[in-house]
Amino acid sequence: MPDLVRRLETLLPPADLLTGPAAAEAAFSFWGSLGTPLAVARPRTPEQVADVVRAAAEAGVPVVPWGGRTGLAGGAYAEGALALSLERLDAVEEIDADESLMVVQAGCPLAKACDAAEAAGLFLPLDLGARGSATIGGMVSTNAGGNRVLRYGMTRDQVLGLEVVLPDGTLVPGLNRLLKNNTGYDLKQLFIGAEGTLGVVTRAVLRLRPRPAARGTAFLAVDSFEALPKLLRRLDADFGGLLSAFEVMWPGFYELVTTPPAQGRPPVPAGHAFYVLAEMLGGDPEHDPARFEAALTGLLEEGLIADAAIARSHAEADRMWALRDDVMQTGRFGPPAAFDVSLPIRHMPAYVEGVRAELAARWPDSPLWVFGHLGDGNLHLIVGAVPADAHAEIDRIVHEPLAPLGGSVSAEHGIGLRKRELLGLSRAPAEIALMRTLKGALDPRGQLNPGKIVG
């Protein structure tokens, strides 16, 4: 490692290389420590990324890429490795309005990319609670989902091209700008969702959409789970395919984020079984808001929803979304453990109640909060005040019931280190073997993000 540090000192300015206590201090996330990296390199160009990766490969030192470090699966854990932070590759390089695309560097925060697209009169439909810190490269590498998957799909569906650095330091220029390009293997797909185990994303070409001219946002109270899938289908039909989000909160989470010391206040009264945050994005500002309100009024009259609050301004809509995003409240009672799963909607109530009962029997003082993107089958479960020695058992309680239900141990945060031993609950042995074949072909020495996904 000392030889590598000396080599990196010739490649990067002093401010772009952290060692010793400074490196250890940088290795953190909201969800916990990321270990103690041997050093943290912070290159400013794709070429510098390639130089750093090549130098590490020649020295035999493993490399762990860092984005915004907002993931739940330990994909950025960097104990004993060189942490490669992409935070300084944060530029929006180009927006092509005619082709409806943008070129961004990997360290660009999602919010910055969205703001740049909006300023150009276009729309990047990716959105998630960590939008201010999650980076485009990290989202590509985990195939992040978020709030609008129901209508626009995962990160994968927005990517046209990628520039990637391979484990030996080769810079592969794959910045395709075409919507249709069937010229051999679609190489970008190898790196989307690979969590930095096959290559380091340095730049991306993202597809943009027309900027919505109308937005309808509402909080709905629902008195039974059985009403939720019916409501989802009705809203999607009544809005003519314009439904972009269908977020559901179980009452414990709703009460947590709408009572002091939380800053949010309840848009609809507490006391209901479920709460839905619904969003419509349309192109007709004259008629879409009235259509949105008329549909909700009809659902109230039918009794499919028990109460509703419609946002009358962008500020009100943002306050509603702030409730959904206020996961920091789950840390009130001690360090939380967060989970990201998916399963068929029909199995959700029994699954959640089974998990809740088993957790309560073992740790009655540890609350369980549940919320998620129910429209795409994704739930987030957060267990509060987790005992230090209980993580493995809680992992088992949350994840093992998913296999017989056809569920997934990771809906949108990847496998990383934390879920590596759980991969077999969601993927067949032949699939895992093929993953190992790909890893061995592209990274035979296990240089990039070792120990993650398949080891």
The answer on pLDDT for 72 being more than 90 is no
Where b means 16+ CB within 10 Å and e means fewer, 328-357 reads ebbeeeeebbbbbbbbebebbbebbeebbe
pLDDT digits (tens, 9 = 90+) for 265-295: 999 999 999 999 999 999 999 999 999 999 9
Give the model's confidence band at 439: pLDDT under 50 very low, under 70 low, under 90 confident, else very high.
very high
Q: CA quadruple 427, 431, 433, 439: dihedral positive or negative?
A: negative
Beta bridge partners of 104: 92, 204
107 touches 201 (CB < 8 A): no
Q: What is the mean pLDDT of residues 313-327?
A: 95
Per-residue confidence (pLDDT) for residue 30, from 0 to 100: 66
Neighbours of 266 (CB within 10 A): 17
Q: What is the mean pLDDT of residues 158-186?
A: 97
pLDDT digits (tens, 9 = 90+) for 131-148: 999 999 999 999 999 999
Coil, helix or strand for 84? strand
The answer on pLDDT for 256 being more than 70 is yes
Q: What is the mean pLDDT of residues 80-96?
A: 97
CA angle 164, 145, 318 (to 5 degrees): 120
Percent of the chain with pLDDT over 90: 91
Distance CA 411, CA 408 (A): 6
Q: What is the mean pLDDT of residues 341-357?
A: 97
Looking from the CA of 242 toward its CB, the CA atoms found within 13 Å total 20
Give the model's confidence band at 386: pLDDT under 50 very low, under 70 low, under 90 confident, else very high.
confident
pLDDT digits (tens, 9 = 90+) for 207-218: 999 999 999 999
Taking alpha carbons only, the member of 378, 303, 335 closest to residue 147 is 378
How does DSSP classify residue 427?
S
The answer on pLDDT for 304 being more than 70 is yes
Distance CA 350, CA 269 (A): 25
Percent of the chain with pLDDT over 70: 99
The answer on pLDDT for 48 being more than 90 is yes
Distance CA 319, CA 272 (A): 20
pLDDT digits (tens, 9 = 90+) for 10-20: 999 999 999 99
Per-residue confidence (pLDDT) for residue 32, from 0 to 100: 76
Q: What is the mean pLDDT of residues 312-320?
A: 95
Q: What is the mean pLDDT of residues 355-369?
A: 95
Instruction: Give the strand pairing for 171-174 and 214-222.
Output: unpaired
Looking from the CA of 306 toward its CB, the CA atoms found within 13 Å total 16
Distance CA 213, CA 192 (A): 31
Taking alpha carbons only, the member of 50, 80, 82, 9 closest to residue 168 is 50
Give the model's confidence band at 333: pLDDT under 50 very low, under 70 low, under 90 confident, else very high.
confident
pLDDT digits (tens, 9 = 90+) for 143-168: 999 999 999 999 999 999 999 999 99
The answer on pLDDT for 1 being more than 70 is no
Range of weakest confidence among 111-115, 123-127, 331-335, 428-432: 331-335
Per-residue confidence (pLDDT) for residue 71, from 0 to 100: 86
The answer on pLDDT for 120 being more than 80 is yes
Give the model's confidence band at 53: pLDDT under 50 very low, under 70 low, under 90 confident, else very high.
very high
The domains located in the chain, with CATH, are 2-85 (3.30.43.10), 92-210 (3.30.465.10), 214-325 (3.30.70.2190), 334-441 (3.30.70.2740)
pLDDT digits (tens, 9 = 90+) for 198-251: 999 999 999 999 999 999 999 999 999 999 999 999 999 998 889 999 999 999
The answer on pLDDT for 188 being more than 90 is yes
Neighbours of 5 (CB within 10 A): 18
Q: What is the mean pLDDT of residues 308-321?
A: 96
